[in-house]
Amino acid sequence: MEYSSGKVGRVFYIRFDHGDDLFDNLKKLIRKEDIRSGWFQLFGGMLAGETVIGPKEPVMPPDPIWHEINEAREIFGTGTVFMDDDKPMVHLHAAMGHQGETITGCVRNRAEIYLIVEAVLYELEGMDITRPWFAEGGFNRPEIKNGISL
């Protein structure tokens, strides 16, 4: 385990509208506002997207199980924003429900908004965290510069 401490900087309220791509728009905001580290929460509706709903087996690197979303679903999720060099890396986990059925997973690649999604993004200051590629695990893993180990 490793950790770092800092403080909350700017706070952004974000409204995504019907048809918006959540990831494209969130990355535009991150670049425009020069957000290097952040945490966000969101809720609303999702119309289409790609989600990883688990590994086929608990091994590293994992072989993901992909699930395509192609119907209106309620979404409630939380995620992080870190950089890989100058590329924003957004990591979002969410529960997405439709008519009593809920899928929970890591939303990736695209997430088309249905009606509206509201989000609050908290900028994290005083921490030097990046999300470079972690070859052993087969994913982008947060790396804490000058982190404290326990």
pLDDT digits (tens, 9 = 90+) for 91-106: 999 999 999 999 999 9
Domains defined along the chain, listed by start: 2-149 (3.30.1330.80)
The whole-number average pLDDT for the span 97-117 is: 96
Closest of 6, 7, 9, 36 to residue 147, by C-alpha:
6
Structure pTM? 0.94
For residue 21, give the DSSP letter. Answer: B
89 pLDDT above the threshold of 90: yes
Q: In this predicted structure, what is the pLDDT of residue 12?
A: 98
50 pLDDT above the threshold of 90: yes
Cα(116)–Cα(17) distance, rounded to whole angstroms? 5
For residue 64, the Cα-to-chain-centroid distance in whole angstroms is 17
